[in-house]
Chains A and B, each alone.
Chain A
């Protein structure tokens, strides 16, 4: 995990070839190609002759940014809505839960697809045509919106159970305002569960990006993301399987480490209760 993140952060500083530059000699050569590996290119090249290693690292950067920011949106917005719904209950809860349910009942991929399409469409205002949003941004927003109800529900459930505890009643009994109670009493207890889910969410978002790439809704192939690398390499899978396998492996490793990290976070915050 550290490797992946490190690589993503460091990509611009490493002496790598420009991932968009074509080097025809190494086109379609795998890492262990019989005719000798393309010199200086450890992981081989992609169908357009661009260096795989460099594309993987740059791609990781892009993929991670998309996934993390999207989940961050979900975390903050979904978290806030969930907290309020869980603490206040009553009508607030009915409205929020209703919203969550509506969004959750639309299959995520379709929703994301629709959102991306809408956001990227150029808008015509008063005769002046404005370009649609940058595909990367559109993707982030779309995935963010999709993740709001998920995080919202989890937060709500957790907030509800913590709000019933006596110490929340004690805080109200001391005259604390509701906002203070939510911020200081409920939130710190809800956070571990939210964080754990958020980490898992990043993993899901990475995979989602892959799916959307195959559907053509992600970033265009020049700028690599793991998803669009897989999408692009589909045609040559029999000739040069490494083009698909390498990004797929990266995704697998990243998702696995995120899952493990999520579990570790939850375990770490699991407070042992004293015995009487």
Chain B
């Protein structure tokens, strides 16, 4: 399974964001980490793309590379008609308000020494948008939009709020600069279950209200399905499968997608996971990933070809693309070895 290939990308003129062959690698003591190895994605305006995968797959790294924070090792990122990888210094800074990010840890993403009002206003303050009065009005509007009472929140500090409220503040901060794209990096993973639902609903509302386009990153498949128009599955720095969620989840074509879906604990006592459906083994190191298809070491369908040749992404159904030499046929079940 490989991310190489851009068969799943749509016409350049139709999309807001187009990422092509993104590669992020960096040096550590043991060698060179190949965090992202040739990912291509695109986003049409108003769409939500869910990027899902387990830890170490490179999804957060991809998000930051798209934002050029820090710059990717190679690859192209075209946003709103501008090639980001070619922008420098001031030009890059100027584009930033159009592309914002929401982070996983609500507490750590807010400066504990600053008041909430100034935190939310930061985007406007940096660029000197409007005067003090209009800025203050915008802040109040945003705080209200995310479900917080402006008068009682504006002058308090982050530590006085709960995780869910902090995340709302982060959302207000991100949306105030009227961005076109919002990248959400695991925005609900650190929150309690009952608060998750509130924030997911809020994100949906904000998206409608402010005409946002979203790249939503998470490891929880159910959450991703709920918010996305399109889902992309990653594994060890590569793209496995891309497609519309309802279709993808019902008829996964990639064995890894099937494994992820099978592992989800379902709140129904009658359904049970038995050994045969549990993906065994451990994720290989990204210092020295397996040759050819990176998933082959844990894939029951792996054959010689998988080690020799990296699969290119190709269409297997309407709007559904997979990078696999032996994709699952619709309705085909798959059995895994219980352990590596």
Contact = CB atoms under 8 A, between A and B. Distances in A.
Interface of A: 165-167, 169-177, 180, 184-185, 188-189, 271-276
Given A170-B173, A185-B111, A274 B126 contact: no
B163 A274 contact: yes
A174 B122 contact: yes
A176 B118 CA distance: 14
A274 B158 CA distance: 8
A102 B96 CA distance: 41
Given A188-B113, A276-B106, A173 B190 contact: no
A276 B163 contact: yes
B123 interface: yes
Interface of B: 67, 69, 93-97, 99-101, 103-114, 119, 122-123, 126-127, 157-164, 166, 170, 173, 177, 190-192, 195
A169 B69 CA distance: 8
Contacts of A276: 106-107, 162-164, 190-192, 195
Nearest to A276: B163
B159 A273 contact: yes
A275 B162 contact: yes
Contacts of B101: 169-170, 173
A88 to B, nearest CB: 13
B192 A271 contact: no
Nearest to A174: B123
A184 B112 CA distance: 12
B113 A274 contact: no
A165 B108 contact: yes
A167 B192 contact: no
A-B pairs with the 5 shortest C-beta distances? A276-B163, A175-B96, A166-B109, A188-B113, A175-B93
A189 B111 contact: yes
A169 B183 CA distance: 13
A170 B177 CA distance: 13
A180 B127 CA distance: 12
Contacts of B158: 274
A271 B106 contact: no
A111 to B, nearest CB: 35
A166 B105 CA distance: 8
Contacts of B192: 276
6 contacts: A165-B108, A166-B105, A175-B127, A176-B126, A271-B113, A276-B107
Given A174-B97, A276-B107, A276-B190, 15 more contacts: A166-B105, A166-B109, A167-B109, A170-B103, A172-B69, A173-B67, A174-B100, A174-B122, A175-B96, A176-B122, A177-B93, A185-B111, A189-B111, A272-B159, A276-B195
Given A165-B108, A272-B159, A276-B191, A174 B103 contact: no
Contacts of A171: 122
Contact of A175 (B97, B107, B111, B173): B97
B279 to A, nearest CB: 29
Contacts of B113: 188-189, 271
Nearest to B89: A177
A12 B122 CA distance: 49
Given A165-B108, A271-B112, A274-B163, A180 B126 contact: yes
A165 to B, nearest CB: 5
Contacts of A170: 101, 103, 109, 170, 173
Nearest to B183: A173
A261 B126 CA distance: 36
B93 to A, nearest CB: 4
Given A170-B173, A174-B100, A188-B114, A274 B166 contact: yes
Nearest to A172: B69
Nearest to A188: B113
Contacts of B97: 174-175
A273 B160 CA distance: 8
Q: Which of A169, A173, A177 has the most chain B CB atoms closer than 10 A to its own CB?
A: A173
A274 B177 contact: no
Given A169-B103, A274-B166, A174 B96 contact: yes
Nearest to A191: B113
Given A189-B111, A273-B159, A276-B106, A175 B126 contact: yes
Contacts of A184: 114
A183 to B, nearest CB: 12
Contacts of A175: 93-97, 126-127
Contacts of B127: 175
Contacts of A173: 67, 69, 96, 99-101
A274 B173 CA distance: 19
A271 B157 contact: yes
A174 B105 contact: no
